[in-house]
Amino acid sequence: MRPTALITGASRGVGAAIARALAPTHDLVLGGRDRATLDAICAELPAARPWVVELAELTPADVAGIDRLDLLVHSAGIAKLGRLADAPAEMWRRTMEVNVIAVAELTRLLLPALRAARGHVVLINSGAGQRANPNWGAYAASKFALRAYGDVLREEEHAHGVRVTSIFPGRIDTDMQRDVRAQEQGPYEPGKYLDAESVARAVLAAVTATPDAHVTEITVRPAAGPTR
């Protein structure tokens, strides 16, 4: 029986790249909000099925029937920039809700299935989860929190055989990065960014490690671009 992977944010960008990388070896549950986009990628990957969900409004019913899960990849996230003096509470709440709280709740609901499979949780973090910069306050805070969450989850679930990997990529050539650069009012320079496929390969490296090796963190930076 092939292992099963659930990937959030799978309709585009890094999530879609991870889905394509895992498709030869895994049955896939692809999470996202847009049914049409998910259906399109599932048509491309016959071993995939769509999971239409609003992560910020997750309920136990959304994961009903998932009794065993080998891999959970958290790739969904948002990035809203602004100076601390101009960042309203709603921006902080929404950022934390999507980037941290939804991750924690989905993982909590799926822990029985992950424990049953002695599975693996992969958190797509960010360089902003290692170093905070001006105008990135809410986003960096959410990613530092996500890093702490991963560290605690790793220690708490070790006895159940669940592995946890945090991946810290630099800037990636995605639609999300286009939005970030628009917020920064700067040029979009894809040649200076990582390919989404490069992040997917980092995920593969973590989940295909030999049984004696627990890959806890991977940092990936663009060879030609900024380090943050």
What would the 3-class secondary structure string for the chain be? CCCEEEECCCCCHHHHHHHHHHCCCCEEEEEECCHHHHHHHHHHCCCEEEEECCHHHCCHHHHCCCCCCCEEEECCCCCCCECHHHCCHHHHHHHHHHHHHHHHHHHHHHHHHHHHHCCEEEEECCHHHCCCCCCEHHHHHHHHHHHHHHHHHHHHHHHHCCEEEEEEECCECCHHHHHHHHHHCCCCCHHHCECHHHHHHHHHHHHCCCCCCCCCEEEECCCCCCCC
Q: Which residues are catalytic?
A: 139
Residue 43: CB atoms within 10 Å = 10
Q: Assign residue 220 a region (left: φ > 0; alpha: ψ between -120 and 50; beta: otherwise).
A: beta
Distance separating alpha carbons of residues 150 and 180, to the nearest angstrom: 25
Q: Are 174 and 12 in contact (CB under 8 A)?
A: yes
